[in-house]
Amino acid sequence: MKHSLLAVASIGLLGIAFAPSAPADEWNKKTILTVNEPIQVPNMVLPAGTYVIKLLDSPSDRHIVQIFNADENHLFTTILAIPNYRLQPTGKTVVTFWETPPGQPKAMRAWFYPGDNFGQEFAYPKSAAAQIAAISRQTVPTTEATQAAELPQAEVTQTQPEPQQPQEVAQNTPPPQPEAALAQEPTPVAALVPQELPKTASPYPLIGLAGAFSLGLFALIRGFRLS
């Protein structure tokens, strides 16, 4: 019984040691977190001390978490978180942790700002997530799964290759010589037929013959009239 009470008291003291202070800003969810032992965040172990946790000043993405030192003049890490939802919001900041293997600092699991239903859940590298999942027996989000969900899926379409058309191969043939070209080209038929037939006789004898015939015919007609 004494050992059970001591264990409960230790858990309570541990929770008080990890409890963050009151919030300071509604927009960036600024929270002051004081821890009395090292804690683990994705890709980093933070020693005991006081830290400032807040969201990056980005209106488009409200899940980028930054962790500063107490004076906010040194940025330790920037974490791309994933949304986490709770049914019953509380009036104070809540930070939850994963159980880790012995000898390893506790891993920060989620961070809820006072009065918010939605909080920030932290994804860990695949190797660290596997170790945490083996101890907690729960599914631990990994950074590989988070990055894969953010990348757009490219559509893969299979296209049939177009059939290759036969290509003509140019041959280097020298131009024919003038003599060879004349020998190869056939002679046009029109060139073989003369344009005009040659004249074989003069038209003057025919004219004279026609005149003599006319005179004879005139004399014959005149003779018939006189008789």
* pLDDT number for residue 89: 93
Residue 222 lies in a domain: no
Q: Which domain holds residue 106?
A: 2-149
**Model-level pTM greater than 0.75?**
no
Between the CA of residue 94 and those of 38, 139, 189, what are the distances in Å? 18, 21, 110
Residue 156 lies in a domain: no
- Residue 79 CB burial class (10 angstroms; 0-12, 13-18, ≥19): buried
Residue 165 lies in a domain: no
- Tally the domains of the chain: 1
* pLDDT number for residue 112: 97
In tens digits, what is the pLDDT along the chain, a chain of 227 residues?
444 433 433 344 344 344 444 444 789 999 999 999 999 999 999 999 999 999 998 888 999 999 999 999 999 999 999 999 999 999 999 999 999 999 999 999 999 999 999 999 999 999 999 999 999 999 999 988 665 555 444 444 444 555 555 555 445 555 556 554 444 555 554 444 445 545 555 556 666 677 777 777 777 777 666 65
Cα(62)–Cα(80) distance, integer angstroms: 10
